[in-house]
Amino acid sequence: MYLSFTDADLIRLPRWVGTANYSALFGDGTFLRSLEVTATFGLSVTGLETLLGLALGFLMHLRSRFSRLLQAVVFAPVVLPLTVTAIAWGYLVNPGSGAINRLLERAGVPTLGWLQDPGLALPTLVLITVWKGVGLPAVLYLAGLKQIPGELLEAAEVDGATPSQTTRRVTIPLLGPTTVLVVFLSLVSTVQSYVLVLLMTQGGPLGRTHLIGYFIYQQAFQFFHMGYAAAASCVLFGLLLGLGWLQLRITERRVHYA
């Protein structure tokens, strides 16, 4: 916190500069742009992870011989190092020799510059992030589904509800607390994430993947603007505190309903 009010650059002694770092930040186009990119990225990943997590939770809950296998495989990327993720996917989405474009080529469909096209780079990163992260929401939903008492579902059936009605009116509302948890866990982790950007796109093309975490990393460890980076960290922290406060408010309301 103290650092954010100084011009620390690791060479000279830090000097007190008051709120200069903060006023500079909010006039810095790259920073403002990174807030926008982070919001788009965070909301897309969270939306997809929640929906896909719910679907995968249901799928794991199905009584299939392969449910355990599905759970093991879907959760595996969660523990996988990001370097390995970046290498495996970097090759899959490679414009020339990557598997995805080669399959498209065979199908006679035009190939795409997954990480090179300014409009596609962020969606591609969202896809990779969801692949890596969705295992946690999925097992959280699975745990939630297992906790729903069977009598409740039977009661709905006795009352003449169709399976899809039961799912929409009984199961999904009962998963409400899980959904709140999943949404906030996912938001909090995506708002700070940037390692894939560091390894795969370095913020490009045209700054379209310049997340706030990457902004901080670049200011601190490429330009050595420690004070400036600390100020950006404080803004990020403020954002996260806001999210935490929001989650607390929503959780409290939920408890009153239950």
Give bridge partners of residue 34 from the DSSP assignment.
none
* Contact (CB, 8 A) for 173 and 54: no
**115 binding another protein? (CB under 8 A):** no
Residues touching another protein: how many (CB under 8 A)? Answer: 69
Of 178, 180, 168, 174, the C-alpha closest to 150 is 174
Q: How far is CA 9 from the centre of its chain?
A: 31
**72 binding another protein? (CB under 8 A):** yes
* Residues in the chain, overall count: 258
**76 binding another protein? (CB under 8 A):** yes
**45 binding another protein? (CB under 8 A):** no
Closer to another protein by Cβ: residue 103 or 155? 103
Q: 196-215: which residues touch another protein (CB under 8 A)?
A: 198-199, 213
The least distance separating another protein from the CB of residue 118, rounded to whole angstroms, comes to 22
Instruction: Tell me how far apart the alpha carbons of residues 223 and 203 are, in angstroms, rounded to a whole number.
Output: 15
* Contact (CB, 8 A) for 245 and 168: no
Q: 120-149: which residues touch another protein (CB under 8 A)?
A: 131, 136, 139-140, 143
**43 binding another protein? (CB under 8 A):** no
Of 9, 3, 6, the C-alpha closest to 17 is 6
Of 125, 126, 108, the C-alpha closest to 116 is 125
Instruction: Tell me how far apart the alpha carbons of residues 127 and 49 are, in angstroms, rounded to a whole number.
Output: 10
**77 binding another protein? (CB under 8 A):** yes
Closer to another protein by Cβ: residue 121 or 236? 236
The least distance separating another protein from the CB of residue 90, rounded to whole angstroms, comes to 7
Closer to another protein by Cβ: residue 25 or 136? 136
Q: How far is CA 155 from CA 12, 141, 158, 241, 257, in A?
A: 72, 22, 5, 42, 21
* Contact (CB, 8 A) for 237 and 244: no
Closer to another protein by Cβ: residue 24 or 82? 82
Among 115, 121, 187, 229, binds another protein (CB under 8 A): 229
Binding site for another protein (CB under 8 A): 1, 3, 8, 10, 56, 59, 62-67, 69-84, 86-92, 96-97, 99, 102, 131, 136, 139-140, 143, 181, 184-185, 188, 192, 194-195, 198-199, 213, 216-217, 220-221, 226, 229-230, 233-234, 236-237, 240-241, 244, 247
